[in-house]
Structure 1
């Protein structure tokens, strides 16, 4: 395993299947994979990898899931993810090279590109956008929200 300290994760389309269930009062449901949660808590963390969620949407559901998984680094409502990641890394004296990123769409691409160029590792679910798949070091056999993050974590720590 490379010197990976952070596992940066997108939510919609990566930790979930990308469906957003809306009722008259707004978002009512998201589905997360228990396999991904297990991978984060019982594989990534014991291997010294800190999970970081950076997502464009704001959701109480995501906040609840992060709390359940004891993820303390959660940033919601972030349209441009790279500056937020740089802020986190600078605060801790770390670099992009120490990051692994799992994302699925064009709003993840800039972050993923910079991480890869710095020597970090990027991965994506099988159903990610074509541009993301072409950039990825690892493309999971599973779709977002169906164990792709767990598969990426297992690959990272092998």
Structure 2
């Protein structure tokens, strides 16, 4: 699968419903918290390891409409950059690509996008590859390149990353060597 990732420059994750189970907990002080999967966090470690081992440079970050500090806190824990509070994700990515990839006439073809809801649809329609969780909005599932078996916040990111780095194609020995790589 190395050749697959070499064709891409950016991987973007929505937050709610992708890295979370799309539920929010609110306490009596109006403090919000969310539930996340450690398996999804480990997937990002595997992705970084794969990049290093194969000398692949990808820009990886979270893009969320949510303005809550929990998004930034989770991004920091995952060691990911985060753009939050963006009401128009497509426009946000267009500006980013215009600034960082000004000579690329088709920057969205190099984008891998993980999204689950209608506000992700404009980006999903432009992305080179897109992933939707099993519990995504039906229109998002219809438009996505891949609809995975897991729900958002329940190993969806892990499933997608394992697909991208080709875990299923690795023998136990190859996987052991990969996991041991530092």
The question of whether the paired residues in 2 share the 8 Å contact of 1:40 and 1:51 is answered with no
RMSD: 1.5
Are 1:112 and 2:124 matched, yes or no? yes
- Kindly provide the CA deviation profile for residues 114-145 of structure 1, in whole angstroms up to 9, marking residues without a partner as x: 22xxxx10011110000011111111110000
For 2:95, the equivalent position in structure 1 comes to 87
List gaps (5 residues or longer) in structure 2. Answer: 52-56, 167-182
Alpha-carbon distance between aligned partners in 1 of 2:45 and 2:100, rounded to the nearest angstrom: 21
Please give the residue correspondences for 1:112-151 in structure 2 after superposition, counting only pairs within 5 Å. Answer: 112-115=124-127, 120-151=128-159
Closer, same or farther in 2 for the Cα pair 1:6/1:45, shift >3 Å?
farther
**Length-normalised TM-score, structure 1:** 0.89
**More helix by percentage:** 2
Closer, same or farther in 2 for the Cα pair 1:45/1:10, shift >3 Å?
farther
User: Residue 32 of structure 1: which of 31, 36, 46 is its match?
Assistant: 36
The alignment partner of 2:35 has SS state of coil
Alpha-carbon distance between aligned partners in 2 of 1:57 and 1:27, rounded to the nearest angstrom: 14
**Length-normalised TM-score, structure 2:** 0.78
Alpha-carbon distance between aligned partners in 2 of 1:91 and 1:114, rounded to the nearest angstrom: 18
The question of whether the paired residues in 2 share the 8 Å contact of 1:113 and 1:135 is answered with yes
Which ranges of 4 or more aligned residues in structure 1 deviate by more than 2 Å? 23-28, 44-50
Alpha-carbon distance between aligned partners in 2 of 1:51 and 1:148, rounded to the nearest angstrom: 16
Greater shift in the superposed pair: 28-37 or 126-135:
28-37
List gaps (5 residues or longer) in structure 1. Answer: none
Count of residue correspondences: 153
Alpha-carbon distance between aligned partners in 2 of 1:45 and 1:54, rounded to the nearest angstrom: 22
